[in-house]
Structure 1
Amino acid sequence: MRALVTGGSAGLGQALCDALLADGFQVVNLDCDPPKVISEAGYLYCDLSSREDVDKALDALTAQAGFDLVIFNAGISATGKFEDISTASHARIIAVNAEAPMVLCAALMKFGKINHGGNIGFVSSLSHFTGYPGAASYAASKDALAVYARAVRKTWQRKFNIKVTAIFPGPLKTDHAARHSPEGADAEKRMTPDEAALLILRDIKKGRAHSILGGAAKKLLFWGKLRLNR
């Protein structure tokens, strides 16, 4: 079995790679940074904010055997007042979090590189349901990914028996979360990447449309839905 994980060099992506390797998968990690720890996952360089890099990565990926599981995990953010964040930063967030996974996924499907009966996971965010003050571009980009997953899910399952899961993690115990979480946020209440990875893979294997991580996240999702329906 073969798996592809974007952003697999640190945080949740690294935990996903480790869990997949432990489960017997051959894993390809697509990232702009080399892995922070020694890993048996194959590493393929790609700056997802660069369309040239994305196209080069696709040339390499489509020359390989197909994947049984693909998880579009890579994500970046910028926090602060919307008007104080540079236009270039907003554009890079949209490119990495939304455009790149859509382009990669569309091409892999076009060239038959996601095997029939396989699975695709899109790592969105709880901001899809609750909003994310101070990180509007991040929230918008992750919202786009959730909508994309919903749009393709039924068609791809019917035509190719490929199941699509939208993943909604809250803040985890990662360096990324520490940099971009609101001031005063309690990091001790956050789930570890290893815990999150196991829950995500469980839900993907079960073919669930959504993966909501932990009881606290589900409560936040419930209240977020109430607010959205007002």
Structure 2
Amino acid sequence: MSGLDFAGRQAIVTGGGSGIGAALCQALVAAGAHVVVADLDGAAARRTTQRVVGPGSARAVVLDVTDAAAVQAVVDDVVARAGRLDLMFNNAGISLGGETEELTLEHWSSIIDVNIRGVVHGVAAAYPLMVRQGVGGAWGGHIVNTASMGGLMAAGLLTSYVMTKHAVVGLSLALRSEGAAKGVGVTVVCPSAVDTPILDKGAVGRFHGRDYFLKGQGVRHPHDPARLADEVLAAVAKGRGILVAPRTARITWLVGRLAPRLTQRMSIGFVAKQRAMQAARAEEAGRLASGPQKL
């Protein structure tokens, strides 16, 4: 639906307690939407509801996106209260970074459960409802799935994360082609490094998120979540299928599509650089831990 007006729309944002999710909640409320801020961390969700400002409204719910029944219950509750659900933001996600041989099966299961099944649960709960809402040529709703540049390009030392985000991109683009004739829009969001707590989480072994996403890639400043949220709403309003942000990320993506072999060679070199940085960081930490040496 081109030119979508968000005023009065009913929305759910998973992972709304912080980062991109919290920024999306603020942007939606500012645009007049009524938002369910869903997060596993109930206190964080409530903080988001207290901070958002605008003509819209926000209420917090505790939600584990790996629980399909719980996701369905949140969707059903919105419909029971408001009569419909207009916007489903499957945003909740986690990151894992490190050498693949250091990942345990528990690591793999946890990231698959949140990043893939969490999105699937949101789609399974919202999409059939939106299809029903779109019967007769009406607008049924819009689903927004948060992926990553890691869902468009393969980066070493992030194998599990890259795998899950590629799955989200594939699901989103395939679902978009189905939903178009049924009044349901789908947008997948693929940002590069965004200034959120995820940059400091999910390290395995020597992996260091900020070194990887910022220093290693030569990014001086990560993308601002508030700016990204505005870009997401603009993309949804225009009915765009994919949003790659910021502009430098779009250039990188274009180069990757035009010169895949060159991009792969650069990726191998990037991993080597990262390993050298990690080794130097570990050596410095060991030196500091040992304290001053006596002569």
**TM-score normalized by the length of structure 1:** 0.90
Distance 2:241 2:19 in 1: 23
Higher relative strand content? 1
Matched, 1:197 2:229: yes
Which one of the candidate residues 13, 16, 25 is aligned to 1:5?
13
Query: Partner residue of 1:153?
Result: 176
2:162 matched to 1:139? yes
Is 1:128 aligned to residue 136 of structure 2? no
Number of residue-to-residue matches in the alignment: 226
Which deviates more, 17-26 or 176-185?
176-185
Counterpart position of 1:60: 74
- Residue 170 (1) aligns with residue 192 (2): yes
Matched, 1:23 2:31: yes
Change in CA separation of 1:6 and 1:227 when aligned onto 2, cut-off 3 Å = farther
TM-aligned CA deviation for residue 85 of structure 1: 1.8
Which of 52, 55, 69 aligns to 2:87? It is 69
- Displacement of 1:21: 0.4
Q: 1:93 is matched with which residue?
A: 111
Give 1:41's aligned residue. 58
Partner secondary structure for residue 108 of structure 2: helix
Amino acid aligned to 2:186: V
- CA apart distance, 1:113: 8.2
Match for residue 102 of structure 1?
120
Q: In the superposition, relative to structure 1, how do residues 57 and 122 fare at CA in structure 2: closer, same or farther (>3 Å)?
A: closer
From 207, 213, 216, give the equivalent of 2:245: 213
Paired residue secondary structure (1:130): coil
Residue 169 of structure 1 contacts residue 217 of structure 1 at CA under 8 Å; is this kept in 2? yes
The amino acid across from 1:56 in the alignment is: A
Is residue 44–residue 57 contact of structure 1 (8 Å, CA) maintained in 2? Answer: no
Counterpart secondary structure, 2:152? helix
Amino acid at match of 2:158: A
Displacement of 1:229 in angstroms is 7.2
Structure 1 position 144, deviation (Å): 0.3
2: CA distance between counterparts of 1:41 and 1:113? Answer: 25
Q: Taking structure 1 as reference, are residues 133 and 18 closer, same or farther at Cα in structure 2, changes over 3 Å only?
A: same
Q: Identity of aligned pairs, percent? A: 26
Kept after mapping to 2: 8 A contact 1:62/1:113: no
Q: Hey, what's the Cα distance between the residues in 1 that align with 2:155 and 2:41? A: 26
Provide the C-alpha distance between the structure 2 equivalents of 1:131 and 1:178, rounded to a whole number of angstroms. 20
Larger Rg: 2
Q: Give the gaps of 5 or more residues in structure 2.
A: 1-8, 52-56, 202-208, 263-295
Aligned to 2:279: none
SS of structure 2 residue aligned to 1:207: coil
The verdict on how the C-alpha distance between 1:20 and 1:225 changes in structure 2, with shifts beyond 3 A counting, is same
**Residue type of the partner of 2:37?**
N
Structure 1 unpaired stretches of 5+: none
SS at 2:111 equivalent:
helix
Give the match's secondary structure for 1:90.
helix
Q: Distance in 1 between matches of 2:166 and 2:186?
A: 16
In the TM superposition, residue 197 of structure 1 has moved relative to its aligned partner by 0.5
> How far 1:114 sits from its partner (Å)?
7.9
RMSD (Å), alpha carbons:
2.1
CA distance in 2, matches of 1:113, 1:20: 22
3-state DSSP class of the match of 1:41? strand
Greater helix percent: which structure?
A: 2
State the alpha-carbon separation in 1 of the partners of residues 131 and 71 from structure 2: 13
AA partner of residue 64 (structure 2): D
